[in-house]
């Protein structure tokens, strides 16, 4: 019985440390969705190079996004789950896409649309992340997490 109480106590301490380190669960959701978006943009880029036809991702502010084959109204097929790649961001919790954005790649993997742009993911808690598509290379990068307004580093202060 004592061991059970000790283990439960340790789990509570670990959970408290995790939540205090990440700020709240919203930050974890923003991070998870950001990595999924980065992966899906890279998938569209790889499909464009392997099939030799345009592929891209279209994001809708406050809604979801679609990974498409050729045109935005033609969703690509997920290679693992064999379903359409139409994503609903509400599946990740109380987070949303902050802007409309569309990126499309040619057969060389270079962005023909949306290069140099970004999509921003926001949580109700104020946490946010931006996913950038570099103009000439098509590289997909995620910026640092902003844990609401408490961050006072030079990058966050200049970005406000």
Q: 26-159: CATH homologous superfamily?
A: minor pseudopilin epsh domain (3.55.40.10)
Question: Angle at which helices 2-22 and 25-51 pack, to 10 degrees?
Answer: 70
Distance of CA 87 to the CA centre of its chain: 11
Q: What is the pLDDT of residues 23-45, one digit of tens each?
A: 555 577 888 899 999 999 999 99
- Please say whether the dihedral angle defined by the alpha carbons of residues 32, 100, 75 and 42, taken in this order, is positive or negative: negative
Q: Look at 34 and 156; give whichever has higher pLDDT.
A: 34
pLDDT one-digit tens code per residue, 38-83? 999 999 999 999 999 999 999 999 999 999 999 999 999 998 999 9
Answer yes or no: pTM beyond 0.85.
no
DSSP bridge partners of 65: 59, 87
Looking at residue 86, its pLDDT comes to 95
Domain spans, the chain: 26-159
* C-alpha R_g of the chain: 19
């Amino acid at each position: 019985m004592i061991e059970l109480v000790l283990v439960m106590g340790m789990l509570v301490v670990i959970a408290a440390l995790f939540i205090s380190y990440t700020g709240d669960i919203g930050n974890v959701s923003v991070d998870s969705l950001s990595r999924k978006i980065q992966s899906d943009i890279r998938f569209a880029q790889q499909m464009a190079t392997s099939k030799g036809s345009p592929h891209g991702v279209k994001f809708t502010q406050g809604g979801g996004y679609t990974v498409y084959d050729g045109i935005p109204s033609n969703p690509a097929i997920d290679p693992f789950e064999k379903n359409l790649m139409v994503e609903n961001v509400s599946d990740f919790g109380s987070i949303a896409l902050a802007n409309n954005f569309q990126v499309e790649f040619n057969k060389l993997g270079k962005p023909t649309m949306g290069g140099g742009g970004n999509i921003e993911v926001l949580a109700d808690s104020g946490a946010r992340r931006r996913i950038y598509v570099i103009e000439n290379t098509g590289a997909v990068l995620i910026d640092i997490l902003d844990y609401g307004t408490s961050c006072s580093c030079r990058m966050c202060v200049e970005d406000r």
